[in-house]
Structure 1
Amino acid sequence: MPQNNADLGMTIQKCICEKYNLEPSYYAQSQFKANYNPEYREKVFPLINRIFQTLGSVPVLCTTLSDALNPNERYSPHNFLLSSGASLSIRTNKSNDKICPRVIGQGGINTFNDFFSDFANKSISDKQEIKEIVINHIHQMIPIFVDYLLQSDYTVWISDFDAGEFHILNQKNYVDWEYDRNNFSFTRNLAVWKESTTLKYDNISIAEIQIHKNRTFKFRFAMRGVMQFMRTLTQTTETFGMTAEKAICDVFGLEYPNNLKKRYAPDIQRELSPIVTEAFDHLPKPIM
C-alpha cells in the first residue's frame, strides 16, 4: 500500500481511538477507514505510549472532523481532548518536514483576502498582489500562520515515524513573539518569484511559499527550521531561569507567581526536575 502523510496521520488517530476506547465522529470514522494502513500498526502503539507518557495526560475525546465552535471554521482544528482539559493536534511527515497551518495554509483568493487584505487596505485580486503582500508584510503575517499552526494547546509533530521521532509544541511557549522584518529574507524576490520561494529568518529556512495556477496560495512551514527558530526565540537565559524556579516550586509544592506561569518551558522543566530533586538532597529545602 502506498504510504503518505494522510494515511499515516489517520492511522495514528484511529489507533489512538482504539487504545483509549474513543468514539470518533461519523466523518472521522469514514476518513480513518479510507486512509487506514495496517502496515503502520506495529510501530504506532509504542509511539502512542511514548507520546502520552511525555504529555503526562491521556486522550478522553476524539474531536477530529467534529463540529467547530468557531463559526469561521467548518470542523474543529483539534484532534483530541486530553484528561488535563488541554486540546491536542497530531501532525505527521513521511518524507519531508513541511507542515501546512490549518485553515489558512492553502486556499484561494477569498481565504487570502479574509486574513491578509487589511495589510494592503484593499481587496487582493491577483497573484502579483499576493506576492507583494507576502514580501512587504511577512513579519505581520507570520504571527497569524503560527497561531494556526499552534491552534491546539499541544501539537505533536511526528517528524520521523520509522525512527519514532516526535516533538511536542506547547502553545503557551510560543505566544507574543516579536519579529524583526530585517531578519526575514526570500530566496526569490518579486522580480524572479514565479511559483515558489523559500522564506528564511536569520538565514534559517522556515517556510516554503507557493503560488500555482490550480491553487492560489500555499504556505508550508519547514518544521526543522521552525524548531530552531522557536528555540532561538523562547529558550533564552531568562526562560531557563524561570523554568528552574518553576521546577523548584513544583518539586516542593510551593506557589509559583501567576505572572510567570506563561514564561517557563515545560520541555526544559521535565529535564530539570530530577536534577533539582537530586541537588536539594544536599541543600536546605526551600519553604517559600
Structure 2
Amino acid sequence: MNNETFGMTFQYAICIEYDIENKISIERIDKELLSTFLKSKIIRKIFRGKSKPIKSLYKTKEFTSEFISRCPHSFLLENEETFSVKTFKGNGKMFAPKVVGQAGEDTFNHFFGHLQKNEINRTNFKEFCLENISEILPIVVDYALVSDYNCWFYRKDETFSYEIIKRADLPDLTFDKSNFTFTKPTSQSWNESNNLKYKYCA
C-alpha cells in the first residue's frame, strides 16, 4: 500500500466517523485499513477535547485563489478553524508543503518573487535558492503548517501514532544564512537533488 492510499483512507475514516459528506472516491480506499482505523478508536482520540470536523474540504475550492488552485486544508471544524492531515508510513516525515511545495513559475514568483529583483525562472532558480535560503525557509515552514491544526499521523507496522501541531504555536522563524550549507554549493554542481543542512546554535 502506498502512502497516498494510506492518507486517503484515513481522511475517509474521519468522514465516516463524523458522518461527513465527501468527494473521496471509494476506489482510493483500502477497506481493510478503513476498518482498522474505525475499530482502533484513534480518530475519536485525536479530536477529544477539540472542535469536531463538520466538512471535508477535499476537492473543494474553499480557501483557494488565483495562486492556490487546491484547498490546502483537509477539514473545516465546528468553530470554523481548519484541520489538515499528513500521513506517514514508518518514521519518515518527508512531504511537500501545501501551495509552495511544488509550485509552478507563476505561483513561485507570487510567493517568493519579492526576495529578488528579477523574475525567478528555470535558469536562475538554483542560484536564487542558494542565495536566499534563509528567507525562503520561513515561508516554506509557514505553508507546511498552514492549517489551524496540523495532524501528522504515522503507521509503523500495525501501530498508529500522531502529533498535533497548532499553527498558533508556530514561532517567528529567523535563520542565519551563514549557518546553512548545501551538499551542492553551486548551481553548476547542483544537477538533480541537493541536501540542505543547518548548524543550530542553542
- TM-score, normalised with respect to structure 2: 0.86
Aligned counterpart for 1:194 among listed residues 181, 191, 195: 191
Aligned counterpart for 2:133 among listed residues 134, 138, 142: 138
Q: Over alpha carbons, which structure has the higher Rg?
A: 1
Counterpart residue type for residue 62 of structure 1: S
Counterpart residue type for residue 104 of structure 2: G
Partner of 2:37, secondary structure, is helix
Tell me what 2:120 maps to. 124
Percent identity of equivalent pairs: 32
Tell me what 1:71 maps to. 65
Counterpart residue type for residue 27 of structure 2: A
Conserved 8 A contact 2:24-2:58: no
Cα deviations by residue, 1:165-216 (Å, 9 ceiling, x for unpaired)? 211111011142222222222222114221001222226xxxxxxxxxxxxx
Distance 2:79 2:198 in 1: 35
Any residues of structure 2 matched to 1:1-288 within 5 Å, and which? 3-24=1-22, 28-30=23-25, 33-45=26-38, 46=40, 47-53=42-48, 56-72=50-66, 73-95=68-90, 96-127=92-123, 129-160=124-155, 162-190=158-186, 191-202=188-199
Tell me what 1:243 maps to. none
Counterpart residue type for residue 12 of structure 1: F
Partner of 2:154, secondary structure, is strand
Q: Which runs of 5+ in 2 are unaligned?
A: none
Conserved 8 A contact 1:97-1:159: no
Cα deviation for residue 62 of structure 1 reads: 1.4
Cα deviation for residue 50 of structure 1 reads: 2.3
Counterpart residue type for residue 194 of structure 1: N
Counterpart residue type for residue 44 of structure 2: N
CA RMSD of aligned residues (A): 2.2
Count of aligned positions: 196
Cα deviations by residue, 1:217-246 (Å, 9 ceiling, x for unpaired)? xxxxxxxxxxxxxxx8xxxxxxxxxxxxxx
Instruction: Between 106-115 and 181-190, report the one with greater CA deviation.
Output: 106-115
- TM-score, normalised with respect to structure 1: 0.62
Cα deviation for residue 85 of structure 1 reads: 3.2
Conserved 8 A contact 2:145-2:167: yes
Conserved 8 A contact 1:101-1:149: yes
> Residues 69 and 111 from structure 1, CA distance in 2 versus in 1: closer, same or farther, beyond 3 angstroms?
closer
Tell me what 1:281 maps to. none
